[in-house]
Amino acid sequence: MLLGIFSDSHLGFGSDDRFEEAFARFKESIRIFKERNADYLLHAGDLFDSAVPEQEVWKKTFECFNENNSKYSTLQKCQLSGSSEVCVKGIPIIAIHGTHEFRGKDFTNAIAILEEANCLVHLHAGSIGLEKNGEKVFIHGMGGVPEKHAKDALEKYSPKPIQNSTNLLLLHQSFKEFLPFDDDEMIATLSLSDLPDGFDLIVDGHLHWKDEQVIGEKKFLLAGSSIFTQMKHLESQREKGVFLFDTKSKKLEFIPFKNQRKLFYAKFDFKNALPEEVVATVNAKINECLSSATFETKPLVRLKICGTLAKGFTQSDVSIVLPNNAIFSVSKNLSVDSFEKKIESLKAAHLEKKSVTDFGIDLLEKNVDEAGLKEFDTRRLFDLLSIGENEKAESVLINAQKVV
């Protein structure tokens, strides 16, 4: 049996050509799988970039699934909530939701909507059995959950491989062993040692660079994203594409996308630098990157500017004019000479990294922890409050306090 594997399509991300790029990559993935005669397709989460996609995103998403519109088949899925049959068109796609699509149990998940439209099978905390010419393959999967609860959620799910069959496990979480040292924005509660034994392949989404590791008897695959959204250092060093997994030979094959968009990543660490020194160094690096080749699509340039400035200068004194022949992402975290200003600068930089939603959830989680509520669904409470369901939110809190 031949399985196609991809992840983190982030449909709806960006604007203009970057908005179109995500859908084009999804269609290209489907075409590759069709050309290679894949029997089933596995998507490891974050199909969408938003938990509540806009109308325009839904329209273009259904156009993408029309690329996979042929015969219908029926799959049986078994989850903690029970068993059900799902009818799906084209090459059957089995997908877990990612952290971008995660919503509380009071709200409909975007991946579940695609299941209702017969576009895919939404798998969460369960398994699906596949069969071809007498060969049995089981796909197990757990959708993305907030990193704080990931370890507990995996222990509760506790997937077990089916004997005398090929078993794959789909996840969408961060793992401590795969977090880059130069990135202080990402967290993880899971380690590879927390993963269950006995699976022929464990596929993880969420982290956007591809990687294959064999650790002991565990074969672990980071499928990587279809497009650049996070602009991490490791992404700049590795191609984007899809994977094929042969269930008999247990071999993985990587197929890169055509016309790869280029990502340049540069990190600077200054010490007591003058503003003009910072600007000159950064501009020299930009020129070095953009003059190295001719690009079919606008390249991406990620600049992280850190360190300290000379006495008497502040971060606002560093003004960098960016050319329009690339798409830039720039973060500045330059300290000033007084301690008080340093603290304020670090606080501001930290807040800039968070969306209003993330900041609100973090604040709510602190209050929940102080109240002594264990294994409490903070995201559910936040979502209820955000749409004005105050009475229901109050009921959720009262019931949680009764449990404690």
pLDDT digits (tens, 9 = 90+) for 11-57: 999 988 899 999 999 999 999 999 999 999 999 999 999 999 999 99
**At 55, which amino acid appears?**
Q
Per-residue pLDDT, averaged over 337-357, amounts to 51
In this prediction, residue 90 carries a pLDDT of 95
Residue 220 scores a pLDDT above 60: yes
> What is the arrangement of strands in the sheet containing 263-273, beginning at the earlier edge strand?
263-273, 300-309, 327-335
Domain ranges, ordered by start, for the chain: 2-256, 263-351, 356-403
Residue 329 scores a pLDDT above 50: yes
**What is the spatial distance between Cα 189 and Cα 191, in angstroms, rounded to a whole number?**
7
| Architecture of the domain spanning 2-256 | 4-Layer Sandwich (3.60)
In this prediction, residue 181 carries a pLDDT of 53
pLDDT digits (tens, 9 = 90+) for 136-171: 999 999 999 999 899 999 999 999 999 999 999 999
pLDDT digits (tens, 9 = 90+) for 106-122: 889 999 999 999 999 99
- The answer to whether 197 and 218 are in contact (CB under 8 A) is yes
Closest CA to 75 of 134, 5, 128: 128
Residue recorded with tokens 């449990």: 403
pLDDT digits (tens, 9 = 90+) for 234-252: 899 999 999 999 999 999 9
**At 52, which amino acid appears?**
V
